[in-house]
Structure 1
Amino acid sequence: MQAEQTARRWLADQGVSQVRGGWVSDVEPDVLLTANQVAHSWAGDVFAEDVDAADQVRLAFGLLDLLDEYWVTCEIRFANEGAEGPLPADVLWDGYRQRLEADRDAEAVTYSLWVDWFEDHVTSASAFAEVLGTDIDRVVAERSEALLRRARRVLECSGPVRWAVKEPTYRTAVRLPALHPALFRGLLTSFHDVYGDLEPADALALLDRLDLPTDTLHLAELRHVLAAGHRNHYRSPGAWDDAVRSCS
């Protein structure tokens, strides 16, 4: 909340304020702006502020809290990869972890992980380690609601992460039944995502350890394609349709 308030004050200094139904700027006070327009127009300016990089990152995450727009995460990634980057890793990933644990919508954060950090094999291993892999033993041991919330969110969007990177985390997570539905989503997207990655035999062994209702949507089909040795929906066109027909 403090980060959000700081971001609101910063926007006010830029001449941008929230009104009923949207946002307005002092330059065109009669033009109503959406949160997305505000993000596209001002989020990048955070990284031109004359403060240290850690405070820039904290301000950017506050802007994300305030606007709830994926584009803010894009500007964070651009800054990390830019001439002044990389950003301080501890502050960057602490910002992601906090928002993954928060009891509020995190779609912008999980979408950012999925399409920007996890689909890029240059960053996927380190990003996955930062948001879950390094902490999975603590998640299973402590089982706090915040840690479980973060684990579920990361597992569900982890499809593009290389199997060798995420499989040890999956094996640890399977010890906790509360994570089984999220693990199933992770395995399912590992098969269906364009960049999804899995080893069929190992994935099937994990799938068989999940305590799920027998009528779980797509459970039978996923088991069928894995048993047939298929690694990815796009590498085996028609395999999923065959599974649907076989399991119907």
Structure 2
Amino acid sequence: MDTEGVEAARRWLADQSIHQVRDGWMSEENPDVLLTAGQVAHSWAGDVFAEDLSAADQVRLAFGLLDLLDEYWVTCEIRFADGSGEGPLPADVLWGGYRRRLEAERDVEAVTYSLWVDWFEDHTTSATAFAEVLANDIDRIVAERSEALLRRARRVLECSGPVRWTVKELAYRTAARLPALHSALFLGLRASFHDVYGDLEPAAALALLDQLDLPTTTQHLVALRHVLAAGHSNRHGSPGAWDDAVRSCSGS
């Protein structure tokens, strides 16, 4: 967590007459009404990008607000600002903010959910987003193997199902060289098959899956191998294929 950024966000909220109290948040205008972090995010996060600050400082303030509130909606406002007429946001600050949080020890569900449903599902942004949070660094991650870099890689792989196969295949194959990433890579492959917008090439995905050193008890490992071998690329494009595979594997 960026402590300095959190305190800057706390001061900014105080300037909006919003203060943290023991069980939530309070507005000076309605001191008897307890607000949730989500309500604060929905009501005030977007105002960050109307502040008389440089675009880079607006992004830094927004990330401080994200760290303080831990609410997905803050990431939505960041995305809206990037796609607005005033955008795009400075890429180094935007993606540096994502990378630092993906490397942090604390839970980052709001960040990974943002990547998954916003940046990765949108094919106009998925290639850039995937490159910025993983693909550009995958060789260094595999070489250095630091805990922070591995945390980032695992988190991105697990939510990368919607990224197009042609965009992620090289990073997937590079990640396969490091056993510490095999479980996350399996989850990425599984999501690539199951997600509504998931994408994979069955033969290439099967070849990659066969390289992974996974426990034989890994849930859905055999079923995933079965559907890929049958040439299915997405569960939703092949209705019944997954259920048939699960039944077949259960009966074997």
CA distance in 2, matches of 1:241, 1:110: 28
Match of 2:46 among 44, 50, 74: 44
Post-superposition CA distance 1:220-244 (Å, at most 9, x none):
1000000000000000000001101
1:130 deviates by: 0.2
Percent sequence identity over aligned pairs: 81
2:119 corresponds to which residue? Answer: 117
Gaps of 5+ in 1: none
For structure 2, list consecutive stretches of 5 or more residues without a partner in the other structure: none
Q: Residue 195 of structure 2 aligns with which residue?
A: 193
Offset, 1:5: 1.0
Query: How far 1:91 moved relative to its partner?
Result: 0.4
Q: Show the 5 A alignment for 1:80-229.
A: 80-229=82-231
Distance 1:197 1:52 in 2: 38
Give the counterpart of 1:77 among 76, 79, 97. Answer: 79
Query: Residue 26 in 1 paired to residue 31 in 2?
Result: no
- How far residue 20 of structure 1 moved from its aligned partner, in angstroms, is 1.0
TM-score, scaled to structure 1: 0.99
C-alpha deviations, 1:51-83, integer Å up to 9, x for none? 100000000000000000000000000101111
Q: Which residue of 2 aligns with 1:3?
A: 5
Residue 177 of structure 1: CA displacement? 0.3
Q: What is the rounded CA distance, in whole Å, between the counterparts of 1:26 and 1:233 in structure 2?
A: 51
Distance 2:243 2:57 in 1: 50
SS state of the match for residue 35, structure 2? coil
1:5 & 1:231 partners in 2: Cα distance? 47
Q: What amino acid is aligned across from residue 200 of structure 1 in structure 2?
A: P
Paired with 1:67 and 1:200, the residues of 2 have a C-alpha distance of: 40
What's the CA shift string for 1:100-124, capped at 9, x where partnerless?
Answer: 0001011000000000000000000
Counterpart secondary structure, 1:32: strand
Match runs of 1:231-242 below 5 Å: 231-242=233-244
SS of 1:159 mapped into structure 2: coil
Rounded to whole Å, the distance in 1 between the matches of 2:144 and 2:10 is 35
SS at match of 2:242: helix
The residue identity in structure 2 corresponding to 1:64 is L
Q: How far, CA to CA, are the matches of 1:227 and 1:24 in structure 2?
A: 56
The CA deviation at 1:168 is 0.1
In 2, distance between residues paired with 1:235 and 1:78?
31
Which letter does structure 2 place at the counterpart of 1:192? H
- Measure, in 1, the Cα distance between the counterparts of 2:238 and 2:85: 41
| Structure 2 Cα separation of the partners of residues 29 and 50 of structure 1 | 28
Q: What is the alpha-carbon root mean square deviation over aligned residues? A: 0.4
Q: What is the TM-score when the length of structure 2 is the normalising length?
A: 0.98
Q: Using the alignment, how far apart are the partners of 1:5 and 1:176 within structure 2? A: 38
- Count of aligned pairs between the two proteins: 248
Mapped to 2, the partners of 1:81 and 1:240 lie a distance apart of 37
